[in-house]
Amino acid sequence: MKTVNKRIIAISLTFVLTTIMFMAAPLSVFAAPTFTLTPSGTVSGATLTISSSFTTGNAYEYTITTGATTDSVGSPPTGGTSISSGFGVNPLVVGNYFNLFEIDTTNSNNIVDMGSVQIANNMLLAPSAGSTEITGGLGVVTVSNYQAVSGCTIYLVPSAAFPSSNGAIDLAATGVVQITSSGNITCGAGTYGLFTVYTSGISSPSHGAYYAGGTATVTAAPTLLTAAGFTLAAPVNGANSTAASAPGIGYTITSTTWSHSLAVGSPFAESTAYYATVVLTSSAGYAFGDPVSPAGVNVTGIGSGSVVGATTGGGSGTGNTLTVLVSFPATDATPAIHFTTQPKASTTVVYRNINDILSVNAVATPSATVTYQWYMSDNGSPYNTIGSATTDGTLTIPSDLAIGTYYFHCVASSTGAANVQSNTATVHVVTPSLISTPPPVITNPSRDISFTFNGLFSDFGSIALNGVELVQDSNTPIGLTGYPSGSTVAVGSVEQGSTVITINGAFLATLKDGKYTIEVVFADSSSPYALLSASFTINRGGAGGGAGEGGAGRGTGDFTDLAGLWLTLILSALVVGYYIWQKRRQINSQIRL
């Protein structure tokens, strides 16, 4: 019994195992597919990818089909492509389906539908290697390595018409250009993209597309500058060098460099030929053309200098440079100044009647204009300027100087030369004085006599004769009366030149022999500043005379009077001599006794 039961159990187990194996065999083929479809659903903006881990000796084949619809599960695929590894496709036909099937090689009716995806409209895909490329430039996009794509059209698209988030691109947008070959396409400034669009059998302007050459940035073509200009001061011996200035429109002055390592602001040397290098940089929207000829560069202020070079650098776009070389002739030799005329060493002038000048002359070698600046001091130091510098070396001594001693010198200057100082001139300001008188003894008082004072005529104050102040009238010249006091007899006059006092001969004839003194007062608006006197003697008999109170008037210079005088003197001498001789005889007689 036990044996029978064991056999029954064995048979039962065998049946069960066989049944399980039979049932499990199909499941081992279709239950664990290894292929995946990426992405699932609708493809938009990506590449369709089917990946798998294929097993050697696989008893199944895998087929991918494309079409307008999905294949029915369980139906044999039509027009499928057998694959044995991962699969990728790009570009994809818009609207088509991709279907993946696993088929039993031993039984073609054993089919498993692995999945299905539809290619969406407006799909944006990645570029493929070796396709058409674009690069940006000044006002152009350059297309290179043009490669046609079957069923597609290649377009250059401005950024404003780039595909939206769903991949749409409007081929009718402004600025969209179809590309059919390599070359340059003229464009405005902006960003452009290169798109390959699947257009086969599709009339809609909005399509699926993919980049075929990335993007390119176009810079607006600048306004070309074929000329330039600026201002630059020509070198002058001793003057400081300057930088170029006053550029034109479309560029700036970047730098100014002088030859001989001369820094801007430093003085030019003598007898040296300089050149200046000026760099100009184009501004936004402008660029220097290549070439710009030296004749196209206008530089003002350079005198006899000239533009000898103009070189464009830094490319052909905005911000490029133009280097200008300006050459100048040699500067002049340093002028040397020397005085040919020095001021008078000493000058005496009259207070309130100053009309004198100081004068110098100097020359500069080589010939150049000389300017003069005068200086004055009342004690030798310090010196103060008098007026402004002029090209005339003459100075009118200031008329308002007080009585005293003053010192003057002149400094001569000329551009580029060292200043030179003249000798010192001393000016003495003194009170007025008597500068002209008649003879001290007047023997013929019938003639006019004059006294000249160097005082200022307008400062003439009063005049007295022997202490009696004379009366002045308002005439010109001034009439004098009042001597003796109260008399209306005309005494004389006072007139300009500087101040001349004349005593009439007719008045002199009324005076007795003797000595007479006149006293003259000069005064400014505040007080007298000078009292001057002069004397004369009237002696009708010759020499001698009293003090203005002498004997009655007589004729002048009579010869008989002189002879009688001499005769009287001789007789007097004889009388005195005889008297002395008699006295001596008497003394001698007494001695003998």
Indicate which CATH number applies to the domain containing 519. 2.60.40
Enclosing domain of residue 88: 33-119
421 and 481 housed in the same domain? no
Per-residue pLDDT, 206: 52
Interatomic CA distance for residues 124 and 579, integer angstroms: 173
| Domain termination site, one of 218, 234, 268 | 218
375 and 342 housed in the same domain? yes
343 and 425 housed in the same domain? yes
Q: Is residue 85 part of a domain?
A: yes
Query: Are the beta carbons of 321 and 253 closer than 8 angstroms?
Result: no
- Of 442, 433, 428, nearest in space to 499 by CA: 433
191 and 98 housed in the same domain? no
| Domain termination site, one of 312, 330, 348 | 330
Q: Where are the alpha helices (DSSP H) in 31-158?
A: none
Beta partners for residue 535, in sequence order: 517
Interatomic CA distance for residues 210 and 225, integer angstroms: 41
Cis peptide preceding 39, ω within 30 of 0: yes
Three-state SS for 228? strand
Per-residue pLDDT, 3: 46
Interatomic CA distance for residues 386 and 411, integer angstroms: 11
Query: Are the beta carbons of 97 and 66 closer than 8 angstroms?
Result: yes
Cα 475 to Cα 479, 490, 501, distances in angstroms: 6, 13, 14
**Pairing mode of beta strands 321-330, 306-313:** antiparallel
Contacts of 93 (CB under 8 A, 6+ apart): 66, 119, 151, 198, 200
Neighbours of 197 (CB within 10 A): 26
Number of separate domains in the chain: 5
Contacts of 288 (CB under 8 A, 6+ apart): 224, 225, 228, 251, 280, 282, 312, 320, 321, 322
Query: Are the beta carbons of 260 and 271 closer than 8 angstroms?
Result: no
Q: Is residue 552 part of a domain?
A: no
Query: Are the beta carbons of 332 and 270 closer than 8 angstroms?
Result: yes
Q: Is residue 446 part of a domain?
A: yes
Q: Is residue 94 part of a domain?
A: yes
Per-residue pLDDT, 577: 73
Beta partners for residue 338, in sequence order: 363
Per-residue pLDDT, 487: 92
Q: Is residue 565 part of a domain?
A: no
Three-state SS for 315? coil
pLDDT < 50 stretches in the chain: 1-42, 44-47, 53-58, 86-92, 121-126, 166, 205, 544-562
Q: Is residue 21 part of a domain?
A: no
Per-residue pLDDT, 310: 94
113 and 182 housed in the same domain? no
294 and 264 housed in the same domain? yes
- Of 112, 296, 137, nearest in space to 220 by CA: 137
| Domain termination site, one of 366, 401, 430 | 430
187 and 283 housed in the same domain? no
456 and 503 housed in the same domain? yes
Interatomic CA distance for residues 258 and 269, integer angstroms: 12
- Residue tagged 């377009």 (tokens): 155
What does the pLDDT look like over 262-310, one tens digit per residue? 999 999 998 999 999 999 999 988 999 888 888 889 999 999 999 999 9
Token readout for 41 is 């659903």
- Of 456, 437, 438, nearest in space to 447 by CA: 438
